[in-house]
């Protein structure tokens, strides 16, 4: 079955013009007699400044403000950092960052601050129990895909309610496990999330974890290093068809995937690219899991370019 994609990197505007002709002489005389009466009001209407004309142009990069912002609900406290462009605009598009397994929000600070310098508000945060370095509440043995989705939903609500957020332009950015969590969560609310940037999203988690024997998880165990997990993580792995689930998200999605990734095989990126109605898969040749150097800069500039090309940061 062939996938139909919408154009996401620029859309030509179609201008329709209508011409009035064949007016009778009586109509012309009536219009001429009204010209003097209406001249001042017509002039007022046509010369009134638009909102765009009243805003001073912005030169990027601009300054930005950094603020520690917590998302608290029930007994949960999520530590995060908000980066707000100081560009004279009352509203900003926003990008919410979801980090990978055993990482923290600060690990994505380079991309978050670059976007803020270019007119996009960003928020990085630590998933509860998502890392041995997490500043949020919670323990890693209580963390799962389900708990991280719950964290992200509350963060989305918080950012959407901020006075300086352009609620029509809230985006999700996720790396590895954070990309998986972002994709599942964004697909729940395509009316609220305008687009997603998924960096080597770990859709392999379903196959990897459901192939394990839960009987071996009676006690907490080290997984991928020194971070301890428990059967809670296994229980929180989706039992539904995740590829069918993400089909509900029909807004733009950009996927970056290394073709030498030993953790997330390229085949997973191909499957999610096929599932999303409007997606672009960028295969990074020679890249593994976790981009650095020129590959990291390519992602940073690509995400920033998305907003520049659409004029969303002006």
Quick check: 29 pLDDT over 50?
no
pLDDT digits (tens, 9 = 90+) for 8-26: 333 333 323 332 233 333 3
- For residue 54, the model assigns a pLDDT of 66
Contact yes or no for 240/223 (Cβ under 8 A): no
pLDDT digits (tens, 9 = 90+) for 70-128: 999 999 999 999 999 999 999 999 999 999 999 999 999 999 999 999 999 999 999 99
Mean pLDDT of the chain: 87
Assigned domain for 101 exists? yes
Q: What are phi and psi of 38, to 5 degrees?
A: -95, -5
Assigned domain for 3 exists? no
Q: Tell me the CATH number at 190.
A: 3.40.50.1820
Name the CA dihedral angle for 124, 130, 133, 136, rounded to a multiple of 10 degrees.
Answer: 60
Assigned domain for 34 exists? no
- For residue 7, the model assigns a pLDDT of 34
- For residue 25, the model assigns a pLDDT of 37
Average pLDDT over residues 58-72: 97
- For residue 19, the model assigns a pLDDT of 27
- For residue 231, the model assigns a pLDDT of 98
d(CA 93, CA 160): 10
Assigned domain for 276 exists? yes
Distances (CA, A) of 186 to 63, 189, 252, 263: 30, 5, 11, 23
Assigned domain for 41 exists? no
Assigned domain for 13 exists? no
Contact yes or no for 264/200 (Cβ under 8 A): yes
Q: What are phi and psi of 73, to 5 degrees?
A: -155, 145
- For residue 57, the model assigns a pLDDT of 85
d(CA 233, CA 140): 9
Task: Give the pairing of strands 92-98 and 165-175.
Answer: parallel
pLDDT digits (tens, 9 = 90+) for 180-222: 999 999 999 999 999 999 999 999 999 999 999 999 999 999 9
- For residue 39, the model assigns a pLDDT of 41
pLDDT digits (tens, 9 = 90+) for 217-246: 999 999 999 899 999 999 999 999 999 999
pLDDT digits (tens, 9 = 90+) for 30-54: 344 444 434 433 334 444 455 545 6
Q: How many domains does the chain have?
A: 1
Assigned domain for 148 exists? yes
Quote the domain boundaries for residue 185. 64-309
Assigned domain for 22 exists? no
């Amino acid at each position: 079955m062939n996938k139909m994609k919408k154009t996401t990197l620029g859309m030509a505007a179609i201008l329709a013009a209508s011409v009035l002709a064949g007016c009778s002489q009586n109509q012309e005389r009536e219009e001429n007699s009204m010209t003097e009466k209406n001249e001042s009001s017509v002039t007022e209407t046509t010369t009134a400044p638009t909102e765009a004309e009243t805003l001073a142009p912005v030169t990027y990069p601009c300054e930005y403000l950094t603020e520690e912002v917590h998302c608290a609900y029930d007994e949960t406290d999520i530590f995060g950092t908000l980066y707000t462009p100081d560009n004279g605009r009352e509203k900003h598009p926003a990008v919410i960052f979801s980090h990978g397994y055993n990482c923290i929000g600060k690990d994505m600070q380079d991309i978050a601050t670059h976007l803020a310098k270019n007119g996009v508000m960003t928020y990085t945060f630590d998933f509860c129990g998502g890392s041995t370095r997490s500043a949020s509440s919670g323990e890693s043995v209580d963390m799962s895909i389900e708990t991280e989705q719950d964290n992200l939903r509350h963060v989305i609500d918080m950012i959407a309610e901020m006075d300086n957020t352009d609620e029509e332009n809230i985006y999700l950015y996720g790396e590895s496990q954070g990309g998986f969590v972002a994709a599942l969560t964004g697909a729940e609310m395509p009316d609220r999330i305008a687009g997603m940037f998924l960096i080597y999203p770990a859709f392999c988690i379903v196959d990897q974890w459901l192939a394990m024997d839960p009987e071996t998880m009676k006690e907490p165990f080290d997984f991928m290093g020194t971070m301890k997990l428990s059967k809670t993580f296994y229980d929180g792995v989706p039992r539904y068809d995740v590829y069918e689930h993400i089909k509900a998200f029909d807004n733009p999605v950009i996927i970056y995937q290394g073709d030498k990734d030993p953790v997330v095989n390229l085949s997973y990126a191909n499957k999610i690219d096929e599932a999303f109605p409007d997606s672009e898969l960028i295969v990074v040749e020679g890249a593994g899991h976790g981009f650095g150097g020129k590959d990291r800069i390519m992602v940073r500039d690509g995400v920033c370019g998305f907003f520049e090309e659409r004029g969303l940061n002006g």
